[in-house]
Amino acid sequence: MAERVQKQKSNSERVAEEVVSSEASSQQGEKLKAELDDLLDEIDDVLESNAEDFVKSYIQKGGE
Protein backbone atom coordinates (compact mmCIF):
# COMPACT_ATOMS: atom_id res chain seq x y z
CA MET A 1 0.00 0.00 0.00
CA ALA A 2 2.76 2.38 1.02
CA GLU A 3 4.41 1.76 -2.29
CA ARG A 4 1.31 2.78 -4.19
CA VAL A 5 0.94 5.98 -2.23
CA GLN A 6 4.54 6.84 -2.93
CA LYS A 7 4.01 6.33 -6.64
CA GLN A 8 1.07 8.72 -6.76
CA LYS A 9 2.18 12.15 -7.83
CA SER A 10 0.45 15.50 -7.54
CA ASN A 11 -0.83 17.17 -10.68
CA SER A 12 1.78 19.88 -10.49
CA GLU A 13 4.58 17.33 -10.23
CA ARG A 14 3.24 15.55 -13.23
CA VAL A 15 2.97 18.77 -15.26
CA ALA A 16 6.51 19.71 -14.28
CA GLU A 17 7.74 16.31 -15.41
CA GLU A 18 5.94 16.63 -18.74
CA VAL A 19 7.48 20.06 -19.33
CA VAL A 20 10.93 18.73 -18.56
CA SER A 21 10.37 15.72 -20.81
CA SER A 22 9.04 17.82 -23.69
CA GLU A 23 12.02 20.16 -23.36
CA ALA A 24 14.28 17.14 -23.33
CA SER A 25 12.62 15.73 -26.43
CA SER A 26 12.86 19.03 -28.28
CA GLN A 27 16.54 19.24 -27.32
CA GLN A 28 16.89 15.65 -28.42
CA GLY A 29 15.17 16.57 -31.71
CA GLU A 30 17.60 19.46 -32.29
CA LYS A 31 20.51 17.17 -31.54
CA LEU A 32 19.22 14.52 -33.97
CA LYS A 33 18.73 17.14 -36.68
CA ALA A 34 22.27 18.46 -36.24
CA GLU A 35 23.59 14.89 -36.33
CA LEU A 36 21.63 14.20 -39.51
CA ASP A 37 23.05 17.36 -41.12
CA ASP A 38 26.59 16.23 -40.28
CA LEU A 39 25.80 12.77 -41.60
CA LEU A 40 24.42 14.17 -44.86
CA ASP A 41 27.51 16.40 -45.27
CA GLU A 42 29.66 13.31 -44.93
CA ILE A 43 27.49 11.33 -47.34
CA ASP A 44 27.61 14.11 -49.92
CA ASP A 45 31.40 13.64 -49.77
CA VAL A 46 31.52 9.85 -50.14
CA LEU A 47 28.64 9.34 -52.56
CA GLU A 48 29.69 7.94 -55.93
CA SER A 49 30.43 10.96 -58.10
CA ASN A 50 28.37 9.87 -61.08
CA ALA A 51 25.27 8.39 -59.48
CA GLU A 52 23.50 7.71 -62.74
CA ASP A 53 26.36 5.70 -64.29
CA PHE A 54 26.93 3.86 -61.02
CA VAL A 55 23.29 2.84 -60.72
CA LYS A 56 23.13 1.83 -64.39
CA SER A 57 26.29 -0.27 -64.17
CA TYR A 58 25.09 -2.14 -61.11
CA ILE A 59 23.59 -5.15 -62.85
CA GLN A 60 23.53 -8.52 -61.14
CA LYS A 61 22.46 -11.94 -62.20
CA GLY A 62 19.76 -13.48 -60.04
CA GLY A 63 21.21 -15.86 -57.51
CA GLU A 64 20.25 -18.48 -54.91
Partner 1 sequence: MAIVKVSGIETEYGILARGTESNPVLASSLLINAYIEANSPDVEHDVPAWNFDDEQPDIDARGFSLESAMPPEVEMHLVNAVLTNGARYYVDHAHPEISTPECANAWETLIYDCAGEEIIRQSMAAVNRTLPSGVEMLLYKNNSDGKGNSYGCHENFLVARDVPFGRIVSQITPHFVTRQVFAGAGKVGSEMLGVSAEQVPFQMSQRADFFEEEVGLETTLKRPIVNTRDEPHCDPQKYRRLHVIVGDANMSQVATFLKVGTTSLILSLIEDDVLGADLTLAHPVSAIRQVSYDPTLKQTLLMANGSRMTAMEIQWALFQKSVNYVKSVGFDSVGGEIIGQRILDLWEEVLTGLDHDPESVADMVDWIAKKRIVDGMQSRHGLSHGDSRLKAIDLQYHDMRAEKCLATRAGLRTLVESAHVERAILHAPDTTRAYFRGQCLERWPDQVVSANWDCLVLDVGRGPLRRVPMMEPLRGTKDLVGQICSESQTLLELLDRLGAEK
- Told to check if 40 binds partner 1 by CB under 8 A, we report yes
- Told to check if 34 binds partner 1 by CB under 8 A, we report no
Identify which range of 5-13, 14-22, 34-42 contacts partner 1 by CB under 8 A: 34-42
- Told to check if 2 binds partner 1 by CB under 8 A, we report no
HEC string for 1-64: CHHHHHHCCCHHHHHHHHHHHHHHHHHHHHHHHHHHHHHHHHHHHHCCCCHHHHHHHCCCCCCC
Q: Applying CB under 8 A, which residues contact partner 1?
A: 32, 35-36, 39-40, 42-44, 46-48, 51-52, 54-64
